[in-house]
Amino acid sequence: MSVLACGRFKCDNIMCDRLVLGRYLCNACYEELLEFKRSWGFCTRVTSVRPHLEHFMTTAPGTFARDDDDAAVDAEFHRLTGGGA
């Protein structure tokens, strides 16, 4: 049985089974990729998906991880913007 190492920069996980751009991706990196995708915004075009994926694969694990929940982010936003609705 072969080892399917994660193809993301600086990720040491093995036994990965998801293919992204011809390289294997572990579950932890895939979850982070989903978080990164949320940051793309509404103006992303089909032609920009590949460059976003290529960029993600060159980043180290933890680059796009969310540390805070939505309520904490909202509270900080409101604190910094005067608390409007």
Instruction: State the angle between helix axes of 46-57 and 27-38 in degrees (0 to 180), rounded to the nearest 10.
Output: 130
DSSP letter string, 27-82? HHHHHHHHHHHHTT-TT--HHHHHHHHHHHHTSPTTSS---S-HHHHHHHHHHHTT
The residue ranges of every structural domain in the chain are 18-80
pLDDT in tens, 18-62: 999 999 999 999 999 999 998 887 767 889 999 999 999 999 999
Name the residue with tokens 């990729």: 33
Q: Could you tell me the pTM of the whole model?
A: 0.75
pLDDT in tens, 65-81: 876 777 887 888 888 99
CA distance 75 to 6: 36
